[in-house]
């Protein structure tokens, strides 16, 4: 489950990465980068949902998309277009 690069959690983690050995090698890819790699690897039917959306009334609920949550789940099917 990737952490979206532009999320508040990713920004906080990057800020402490040099001081915390657990996060020192952390990499936070952009979602368009991940989707491109999936398509190039033969995956399609890509969909995303997110959680820990601090700005919504129920931050633990899952929501479609990837641009507002701290954690994102990506679903893709090998061999399907698109």
Tell me, what's the pLDDT at 4? 64
Question: For residue 3, what pLDDT band results from cuts at 50, 70 and 90?
Answer: low
Structural contact between residues 65 and 48, judged by C-beta atoms closer than 8 angstroms: yes
Would 3 be classed as within a structural domain? no
Residues 23-79: pLDDT tens digits?
777 777 788 888 899 999 999 999 999 888 777 778 788 888 887 777 888 999 998
Would 28 be classed as within a structural domain? yes
Structural contact between residues 57 and 30, judged by C-beta atoms closer than 8 angstroms: no
Structural contact between residues 72 and 31, judged by C-beta atoms closer than 8 angstroms: yes
> Domain tally for the chain?
1
Would 2 be classed as within a structural domain? no
- Largest interatomic CA distance in the chain: 43
The C-alpha angle 34, 22, 2, rounded to 5 degrees, equals 20
Global confidence as pTM: 0.63
Would 1 be classed as within a structural domain? no
For residues 41 and 9, the model is more confident at: 41
Q: Does the pLDDT of residue 13 top 70, yes or no?
A: yes
Question: For residue 10, what pLDDT band results from cuts at 50, 70 and 90?
Answer: confident
Would 30 be classed as within a structural domain? yes
Percent of residues in the chain assigned helix, strand, coil, to nearest 5: 25, 25, 55
Range of the structural domain that residue 20 is part of: 8-78
Tell me, what's the pLDDT at 77? 94
Would 43 be classed as within a structural domain? yes
């Amino acid at each position: 489950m990737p952490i979206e690069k532009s999320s508040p959690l990713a920004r906080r983690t990057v800020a402490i990465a040099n001081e915390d050995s657990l996060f020192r090698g952390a990499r936070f890819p952009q979602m368009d980068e991940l989707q491109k790699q999936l398509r190039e690897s033969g995956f399609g039917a890509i969909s995303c949902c997110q959680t820990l959306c601090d700005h919504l009334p129920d931050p633990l609920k899952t929501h479609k998309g990837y641009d507002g949550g701290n954690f994102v789940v990506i679903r893709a099917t090998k061999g399907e277009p698109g």
